[in-house]
Structures are given as C-alpha cells and as structure tokens.
Amino acid sequence: MTEARDRAMLVAAIDLSRRCPPSDTAFSVGALVTTADGTVLSTGYSRQHNPHDHAEETALAALGESWRAGPDSTVYSSLEPCSVRSSRTRTCTELILAAGVGRVVFAWREPSIFVDCEGAELLRAAGVEVVEVPDLAGEVREVNRHLLAG
C-alpha cells in the first residue's frame, strides 16, 4: 500500500462521514473496504440505514454475511474501529476480525467521550496491520465538533 493511496482513501472516508445524520450520542464516521490494488468494494457511514449503524459495520454488511476478505484487503475508517459497544452485540473490531481483513487504516483514535476504545490494540494483537494517519485527525474532529464542544 502506498501512503498516497492510504491518504486518498481516508479522505474519501472522511467525506462519507459528512453524510451521517447528526447525533449527540455517537460519532460521525465513514468507512471503505478495498482490495490491495485500491479497488473500493463497499462503503458505509454511521447511521446510514439505522440509528445504531456504525460505518465499518455498514461497509462490511454491504458485502454480504458470508463475505470473507483476502489478507490483502483494507478497511479505511475515519475513526478507530470500536472495541466497546452497547447498541449491538458485535463491535466493529470483532466484525473486522471475523471477516478476515488484513489491514486497517484510520485517522483519529476514538477519544474517551463515550467509551475507552482499544480497537487498534486488539486488531494489532490479532495480527492485523494497523496504520494511523494522525495528520488527518483534525478533519475528523471537525466533522464531530458538536461532540467536542463544551
């Protein structure tokens, strides 16, 4: 993977996050699932179909319940995938691992506004390559500024 492709895909994920219906109790997040060559297989964003939808969950679900990733697949997410969740039984980290995704790239580590997230650490511990691109985190914070005020 190239750094330029990672950045372009993260910018696309951040653009998707701007489509999220506003919420005072959840982050606005965008996600893409790609192949090794950068072909986008699916996209998703928080609350796309249901108020409890997470972006990574929606993008993976769009591929079908039986879809399994090749080890060269990547999930791009504007925010670190969740590792704690009260609205559904499986976290985005668990869904990514169950699908067999080999790589996750995100821009902003989830702040401890709602939960203490350990998505990056859990993914790495399971052998997933995790890449953080923190210089794009400011754009993600801007999308979620309504949660950060105060």
Catalytic residue IDs: 56
Per residue, the 3-state secondary structure of the chain, as one string, reads CCHHHHHHHHHHHHHHHCCCCCCCCCCCCEEEEECCCCCEEEEEECCCCCCCCCHHHHHHHCCCCCCCCCCCCEEEEEECCCCCCCCCCCCHHHHHHHHCCCEEEEEECCCCCCCCCCHHHHHHHCCCEEEECHHHHHHHHHHCHHHHCC
